[in-house]
Amino acid sequence: MNQGQDKFSISLVSAGFGGSLVSTHVDDVIFPTEGSSYSLYLEEGNLLPYLFSKAFTGEYLSLLFLKTQATASYYFPLNSVNDFVFAMKYSGGYLPTLSGDKTTVPYIKEFFVGGSNSVRGWPSRAFPPQKVSAEILGENNLPGGRIVVEGSFEIRKRFGDLLGAAAFVDWGNTWKEISNMKISEVAVAAGFGFRFYTQIAAFRLDFGFKIYDPYDRTPIPQRRFFDLMQFHFGIGEAF
């Protein structure tokens, strides 16, 4: 997106509302060992200007969009004392344009993948990769995506009241259109981490490694170690 497009797209969004619906059924919010959690995020862009224009002028020529993202997390105890847990998360989002030019959706409203609560082998907002040319990605208006799919599998072990560790596999990516989605472009990371538990939250340090990079097919043995690894510090479990 060039500078002119960026300014133009941001100016199109003059009003918007968003919020989350959350349903949590777990036994412990700091270290969940059993149960499930669901969330649905909804955000509209320019609905009020749209309704106002339709009521008084009969037409609307600007941008109108709806952003949605649903996430489900599940937890399963692996022993009787509930300090060994298998957890998994699935998340998907869609940002359709209901009116106007979809290429003018502000990038701050689009989806990105990567970071401490996403695919942990990459830094925050790593996908779609801005260094990959538009010709390779089949896109012409980077930087964000309007479709996102991602998930995680994690094994967690707690050692007493204060310490813990985890091993994980993350996957996901984001695309502009549903027709662009390819299984071969789903990035995969794996890694491990350490936890320090307090009465209010868990503090974690995760080390993620790129297992499958859809935009760099260089064999892993031929890549430098610090090109493959990404570490993250976070508050609370990843999901």
Tens of pLDDT along 15-64?
778 999 999 999 999 999 999 999 999 999 888 888 888 788 877 878 88
Kindly compute the dihedral angle of the four CA atoms of residues 55, 56, 61, 66, in this order, to the nearest 10 degrees: -30
pLDDT of 137 = 55
> Which residues of the chain carry a pLDDT beneath 50?
1-11
pTM of the model: 0.84
Q: What residues contact residue 224 under an 8 Å CB cut-off, 6+ apart? A: none
Query: Quick one: pLDDT at residue 222?
Result: 84
Alpha carbon distance 130, 116 (integer Å): 19
Name the domain count of the chain: 1
pLDDT at position 189 is 98
CATH of residue 180: 2.40.160.50
pLDDT at 8: 38
Range of the domain at 63: 3-235
Residue 184, Cβ density class (10 Å: 0-12 exposed, 13-18 middle, ≥19 buried):
exposed
